[in-house]
Amino acid sequence: MSMLETYFAQLEEGLKKKLERKTTARRKFIYEISRIGGKMFDDNLSSAWTTVFVPFEILNAMGVAGNFIEFVGAMMAGAGIGRQYLEKAEAAGYSTDSCAYHRTIVGAALEGIMPEPDLLIGASCPCDGGIKVLKRIGEIYKKDVFVINTPYEYTPESLDYLVNQFKAMIDFIKERTGRDIDFDLLRQSIRNNNKAREYLVEALELCKNVPSPASSNDWKNFIMFVLLAGSEPAIEVARIYRDEFKEKVGKGLAGLADEKYRLLWIQNRIQFKNNLINILESKFGANVVIDELNYIYWEPMDEEGDPLRALAIRQITHPIIGNIDRRLDVLAMLGREYKCHGAINPAHWGCRQSGGARYMFKEALREVDVPVIHLDVDCVDERNFSEGQIITRLEAFMEML
C-alpha cells in the first residue's frame, strides 16, 4: 500500500471511529472527503486528476473518481509532508514564484508517490497555474489532458460553447476508459445538488447569527465539498451541518464562546499547521464566521432540462470567473450580511488572480466598513512562514478593530 493510500485509509478509519462516538458536521465532512481520497486507489473505478472547477458529477456518472490537484497539495501541507515534494519540483526547475499547491503536486508526481491517473481533466479557470501544472503532470504520465475553456462571461453563445466542451469531455473519457455515461445518474446528481444546496444555504444562513453557531475551523477548506457534489453523502454532510447549527442556535450555543469579533476569510486558508486561528480565537475572541469560497453562489439547478447545461451554468457563473465585479459584490455582501468586523486576505504568494485584486478587495470591503488585512504568506509552503511577524501584524489589526 502506498504512503498516500495508507494516509487516506488511516484517516478514514480514525474518523469512522470518532463518528461512531459522536457525529459532528466537521467530522462527517472530513470523513467523506477522506473516502474520496481513498477512491483514487479503487480498482473498480477509473481515476482522474483535475483542476478545481470541473463538473465532478459527470465524472461520477461515468465511474471516474476525480480529485483536484490543489486538494492533494493542501492535504500534504496539512500533514506536514509537503516540503520534500516542493524541493523535488524546484530541483526539476519549477520556480519558487509559482503556486506551492501546484509545485507540491508536481513534485509528488515526479517522486512517484501519486497513483497514476487514468485521465487528466482541467479547466482554464480559476487560474493559469492549475491547467499548466496538469499539463506537466500529463507529460510525466505520458497522457493527454482534456482542457475545458471556461468562458469569461455568461452569454447564450458561451453557454453552448461550454456545454459542447462537456460533451467532448464525455467522449474523451469514453474513449480512454471504455466507460459510458449514465444520464439517469447524472440527473439524480442534479437533484442531489439541489437538496444539498438547500441544507447548505440554511446552514450558512444560521452562521449570520451573533454569535455564530460555527467556530473558525468548522467550515475550513469547505471548497473540497465540490468533490462530493451530486452524491448522497453530500446531502448527508450538508444536512448534518444544518442540523448541528440549527440546534446550537436554538439552544443559544456559540461556535466560539464569547465571540467578540467576526471575520471574513478571503480565498484559501493557510494549509500547514500554524497558530493564527488559535490566537485569533483565544486571545481576541475573533471568529472566522464566513469564508469567501464557501458562499453558495449558484441558483437551484434545472432538474427537468439538460443536466450538462445546468452544470455549465453553475461553472460559468462562479464569481471567481470573468471580471472581478461579481467577486467584489460577493465579498461586500458577505462582509455586510455576516456582520463582519474585519477580513483576512492571506495573499498566497503564487496566486496572480487574487494578488492582482488585493486593492480592489480592500476597496469593496471598505464600502461596507469592513477593514482588510493582507497577510503576505504562502498558504502551502511553510519554509518562509514567519509566524511571529504574521501574528504581530494580526494583533495590530485586531487592536485596530
Site size with another protein, rule: CB under 8 A: 44
| Residue 339 interacting with another protein (CB under 8 A) | no
Judge contact between 361 and 267, C-beta under 8 A: no
Q: Which residues pair with 218 in a beta bridge?
A: none
How do 46-50 and 119-123 pair as beta strands? Answer: parallel
CB of 60 to another protein, least distance (A): 25
98 binds another protein (CB under 8 A): yes
Integer Cα distance of 208 and 216 in angstroms: 13
Q: According to the binding rule CB under 8 A, does residue 296 interact with another protein?
A: no
Sign, CA dihedral 203-204-209-210, equals positive
Smallest separation (angstroms) from another protein to the CB of 248: 38
Question: Which residue from 83, 326, 358, 393 is in contact with another protein, where contact means CB under 8 A?
Answer: 358
Span interacting with another protein, options 9-17, 144-152, 199-207, 277-285, rule CB under 8 A? 144-152
Selected from 356, 366, 367, 396, the binder of another protein by CB under 8 A is 356
The answer to whether residue 316 forms part of the interface with another protein (CB under 8 A) is no
Cα-only R_g, the chain = 20
Interface with another protein, residue 175, by CB under 8 A: no
Percent helix / strand / coil, the chain, rounded to 5 = 55, 10, 35
Residues 6+ apart with CB under 8 A from 171: none
User: What is the sign, positive or negative, of the torsion defined by CA atoms of 291, 131, 67, 94?
Assistant: negative
- Residue 48, phi then psi, degrees to nearest 5: -140, 135
38 Cβ partners below 8 Å, 6+ apart? 5, 8, 9, 12
- 3-class DSSP string for 242-262: HHHHHHHHHHCCCCCCCCCEE
Query: Is residue 317 close enough to count as binding another protein by CB under 8 A?
Result: no
Nearest distance, CB of residue 383 and another protein, angstroms:
16
Among 48, 65, 77, 133, binds another protein (CB under 8 A): 133
Residue 139 in contact with another protein, rule: CB under 8 A = yes
Residues ≥6 apart with Cβ < 8 Å to 54: 66, 68, 121, 122, 123, 148
Is 392 near another protein (CB under 8 A)?
no
30, 58, 61, 99: which one binds another protein (CB under 8 A): 99
Q: How far is the CB of 375 from another protein (least distance, A)?
A: 12
Residue 352 host element (H or E): helix 352-355
The answer to whether residue 344 forms part of the interface with another protein (CB under 8 A) is no
| 101 touching another protein, by CB under 8 A | no
Min separation Cβ 266 and another protein, Å? 13
Query: Is 123 a binder of another protein (CB under 8 A)?
Result: no
Residues of this chain that interact with another protein (CB under 8 A) are 92-95, 97-99, 102, 124, 127-129, 131-133, 135-136, 139, 145, 147, 149, 151-153, 157-158, 161, 164-165, 168, 323-325, 347, 349-350, 352-353, 355-360
